[in-house]
Structure 1
Amino acid sequence: MIFSQDYKNHYKENLRIGFPVIMGQVGHMMTSLVDNAMVGNINSTLLAASSLANTVFIMIYIFGIGLSIGLTPAVGRAYGNEKHGQIASYLKNGKIIYLWTGLLLTIAMWVASYFFDKLDQPPEVVELAIPYFLTLSISMVPFMYYMSLKQFAEGVTLTMPAMWAGLAGNIINIILNYLLIYGEFGFPRWELFGAGVATTIARSLMAVFLFLILSRDKRVQKYLRAAKRLKIRRESIVNLLKIGVPIGFQFVLEVSAFVAGTIMMGWLGVYPLAAHQIAISLSALAFLAATGIATAATIRVSNFLGNEKYHKMRDAGNSAYVMGMALMIFTALCFIFLGRQISMIFTNDEMVIAISTQLLMIAGFFQIVDGAQAVGLGVLRGLEDVKIPTIIVVIAYWGLSIPLSYIFAFTMGMGAVGVWYGYLAGLSFSGLFLYLRFLHYSKKLTGKVV
């Protein structure tokens, strides 16, 4: 069945929709990586300050990303059902929700900055981190406007515009970083603060670029015009929040769980922490492929749900699982058999290489179940099923992963590998039960078809 012509068509569509999303995700990841790399060339104190600020920033802004993702399945379902007025309503009301969210998250970041000195970090690191962090916080409003356009466009199956806008934003970020971090061509040498200014300008321009690209697309123009005429609709706002808020919490739970794991690695010492950073960075990079397929699944499942083609909806979900698993198995094999060689690219410290190689062995299996979880969440978002998946994620991360990581690493004395075994156990639970949830939901819907 998975090699049938119908499934081949699903694979092509998943790839067409998912590839630009993957490239866009790489762009998001590159923003903080470029900041870290360019300030790290000056001194390690600036690098530490950048890492501290970005860690706290991500913990807050990730909720905004999750909240905005709720727009995609809502728009996707209306698009599949050809309810164009409803699509325009979601666009208008989504913008309002996410702009206010951006403002509230900015305020939350300013409040959080007062607690930096309570994080037991070196004073010189905190002093440098706060101005950079506050500058990044200003980017939240334009970034959330960008996300409202991006998630709307994805709902109507347009994923290329956000990719191009993100690419342009990253190029601008690199250029401005060079000018403002190092003070080249007569610009002020602002170092880490300059990186924050560059990122904020780049994110603002990304929103402008995406609006300009979409406003020139004939498929989108009618929705933009209609959205201007429409009034605020309570029903649209409530529906977007019902879908988006649980997704936002899913994202926060996941990110906070990995931060907790990093803290545990720090308790084990410098070498395990360094090895963990290598393994988790590689795993996150490989994971982007699964998120692209998951987004394609959200879009296509919601479209088929809207036009009540339930068997195609089920096949779209299953094809996403097949593609996600195939990609993750490929990366798993690379981690398992080439772990040492990959680790040597990042460090020449033999102790770090040895630990990292062990972690990448576990990461290989971790990739497979993490990919299953990502696709499962994407498929279920397409069905607008977010409450039960959130409960599954809570149990997986905070009921299993974190407690087991601590027990394996410290109580049982397994050390660094114990932390990763804990994650593997939790994600295995999540991946399995999300798939069972999809099977249950799809059987219930396909049973309606005569």
Structure 2
Amino acid sequence: MLYQYTKEFRYNLELAAPVMMGMLGHTLVALVDNIMVGQLGTAELAAVSLGNSFMFIAMSLGIGFSTAITPLVAEADAENNFRNGKSAFKHGLFLCTTLGVVLFLMILLAKPLMYLMKQPIEVVELAIPYLDLVAFSLIPLIIFQALKQFSDGLSMTRYPMYATLVANVVNVVLNYILIFGKLGFPQMGIVGAAIGTLASRFIMVVFLWIFLKKKEKSKGYVTHIKIFVLENKMIKKIIELGFPSSLQMFFEVAIFTAAIWLSGILGKNPQAANQIALNLSSMTFMVAMGLSVAAMVRVGNQKGLQKFEDLRRIAISIFLLSFIIATIFALIFIICNEMLPMIYLDVDDTQNLVDNTEVISIAAKLLIIAALFQISDAIQVTVLGALRGLQDVKIPTVITFIAYWVIGFPISYHLGLHTEYKSSGIWIGLLAGLTASALLLCLRFNKLTNGLIRKG
């Protein structure tokens, strides 16, 4: 009985591993950024956290929208329908590019909000020049996402990984040179980190485009594109899938962003501790995201083939694999909760010893709560991927809103700002929201797939 699910593990991992590696690459660069910036001081670390909080919201909308491309391309690929696949890619690329420009302009307009958010003024003044540069990187990032989601839809998950790894090496090298002023360059602090991020995101786009043009399977899709010759039907279809998907990701990312802002109200040290715990949690989440993409692709393939019993079995095998991996991560967080935050700060810095000790203490407590929501987070994102593969996006959008903003955020707000739990209270709210989302999305998937099997 169990074997029918575990026998899929190997292929699921083969499909998901390049996605995981690519996404982990992004997060590892964020880890390196935070470690480098952390050497400058807790105010600088908090400033990067505040600036990135605006970026996370914009990125969630752009990346969430781009996921509409994958199930459409996967379904067309299973049906050997080249025309539909190319149309989905072309229209998705056009819409993602447009969205990237719009989100960049929105962030520029939103910058003054920092002064109204009760954040430490020294943190705000450091964050604004950082955000100016990082905001522009949204345009190449979301173009890259369109290319990546198309590549994933064709089950070519390795090539986005290669492009990401090359870009990440460039990012780390530039960050080191520009943050600390090496090789004759001026010491630019967190602005140097922003320049490294911007350069690396343009490199990602160029490399992935070159890979896709050279490969036989994808060459026909990405060449001879009449980008401005558009069909209303396909635009409407992508928007109908992409807009709810972007809202789903927005609702989740926004509650983590709210945690950053609530932590900022508590002070720069709670905000820096929140950034450390969030960065570590993001690394483990990227593994689940890889499995979510595998679920989206494989469910999209099975939908195209109309094999609904296999669809359900394959999806459950991915959920089971995600649960096992998340449990391992949870144990690591519990065992190493005091050790991991020390990576980010200079524990021998006597001048900032009090601040650094407080940040490490708060982050250690947050990692215990993060350990508890590893499983909920992994399950909810993989089930969401399977539902996107089924092109079921409207009800899951309502579910994510209820879970994060009707259940999770009020708990975070009350426990964080009005009880002695403070930072831990904020993260207890995150735990509640993620758990509610996982349970409700599982119920939705179960109902939908059983219905399809009965009809089939």
TM-score, normalised by the number of residues in structure 2: 0.89
Residues 96 and 146, structure 2, Cα contact 8 Å, conserved in 1:
yes
Corresponding residue number in structure 1 for 2:352: none
Residues 85 and 226, structure 1, Cα contact 8 Å, conserved in 2:
no
Query: CA, structure 1 residues 48+229, in 2 after alignment: closer, same or farther (shift >3 Å)?
Result: closer
Residues 21 and 292, structure 1, Cα contact 8 Å, conserved in 2:
yes
Corresponding residue number in structure 2 for 1:281: 279
Deviations 1:8-66 (A, max 9, x none): 44212210111111111112223444334334434555444333222222222221111
Residues 66 and 251, structure 1, Cα contact 8 Å, conserved in 2:
yes
Q: Which moved more, 1:45-54 or 1:18-27?
A: 45-54
Could you say which structure has the greater relative contact order, defined with CA pairs below 8 angstroms and 6 or more residues apart? 2
Cα distance in 2 for partners of 1:290, 1:227 equals 33
The one-letter code sitting in structure 2 at the alignment partner of 1:98 is: C
Within the alignment, does 1:162 sit opposite 2:160 as a pair?
yes
Within the alignment, does 1:202 sit opposite 2:190 as a pair?
no
Match of residue 448, structure 1, among 436, 451, 455? 455
Deviation at 1:350, TM superposition (A): 6.7
Residues 331 and 367, structure 1, Cα contact 8 Å, conserved in 2:
yes
Match of residue 360, structure 1, among 334, 358, 367? 367
Deviation at 1:251, TM superposition (A): 1.6
**Identical columns (%):** 37
Corresponding residue number in structure 2 for 1:233: 231
Residues 369 and 428, structure 2, Cα contact 8 Å, conserved in 1:
yes
Counting matched residue pairs gives: 447
Mind listing any 5+ residue stretches in structure 1 that lack a counterpart? none
Residues 91 and 227, structure 1, Cα contact 8 Å, conserved in 2:
no
Cα distance in 1 for partners of 2:171, 2:417 equals 42
Deviation at 1:140, TM superposition (A): 2.1
Cα distance in 2 for partners of 1:46, 1:420 equals 22
The one-letter code sitting in structure 1 at the alignment partner of 2:388 is: R
Cα distance in 1 for partners of 2:167, 2:267 equals 37
Cα distance in 1 for partners of 2:59, 2:319 equals 28
Mind listing any 5+ residue stretches in structure 2 that lack a counterpart? 348-355
Corresponding residue number in structure 1 for 2:412: 405
The one-letter code sitting in structure 2 at the alignment partner of 1:328 is: A
Corresponding residue number in structure 1 for 2:3: 3
Within the alignment, does 1:249 sit opposite 2:247 as a pair?
yes
Corresponding residue number in structure 1 for 2:107: 109
Query: CA, structure 1 residues 362+165, in 2 after alignment: closer, same or farther (shift >3 Å)?
Result: same
Q: Which moved more, 1:297-306 or 1:415-424?
A: 415-424
Residues 90 and 227, structure 2, Cα contact 8 Å, conserved in 1:
no
Residues 143 and 204, structure 1, Cα contact 8 Å, conserved in 2:
yes
1:13-412 equivalent positions in 2, closer than 5 A: 13-121=11-119, 123=121, 125-225=123-223, 227-228=225-226, 231-266=229-264, 275-342=273-340, 356-409=363-416
Residues 49 and 272, structure 2, Cα contact 8 Å, conserved in 1:
no
Cα distance in 2 for partners of 1:42, 1:340 equals 21
Residues 88 and 226, structure 1, Cα contact 8 Å, conserved in 2:
no
Deviations 1:98-133 (A, max 9, x none): 111111111112212343433444555444433321
Deviation at 1:73, TM superposition (A): 1.2
Cα distance in 2 for partners of 1:280, 1:31 equals 14
The one-letter code sitting in structure 2 at the alignment partner of 1:161 is: Y
Q: Which moved more, 1:311-320 or 1:226-235?
A: 226-235
Residues 31 and 199, structure 1, Cα contact 8 Å, conserved in 2:
no
Residues 35 and 344, structure 2, Cα contact 8 Å, conserved in 1:
no
Query: CA, structure 1 residues 82+345, in 2 after alignment: closer, same or farther (shift >3 Å)?
Result: same
Q: Which moved more, 1:93-102 or 1:120-129?
A: 120-129
Deviation at 1:412, TM superposition (A): 6.3
Cα distance in 2 for partners of 1:286, 1:306 equals 31
Cα distance in 1 for partners of 2:247, 2:37 equals 32
Residues 73 and 382, structure 1, Cα contact 8 Å, conserved in 2:
yes
RMSD over aligned Cα, in angstroms?
2.6
Query: CA, structure 1 residues 182+269, in 2 after alignment: closer, same or farther (shift >3 Å)?
Result: closer
TM-score, normalised by the number of residues in structure 1: 0.90
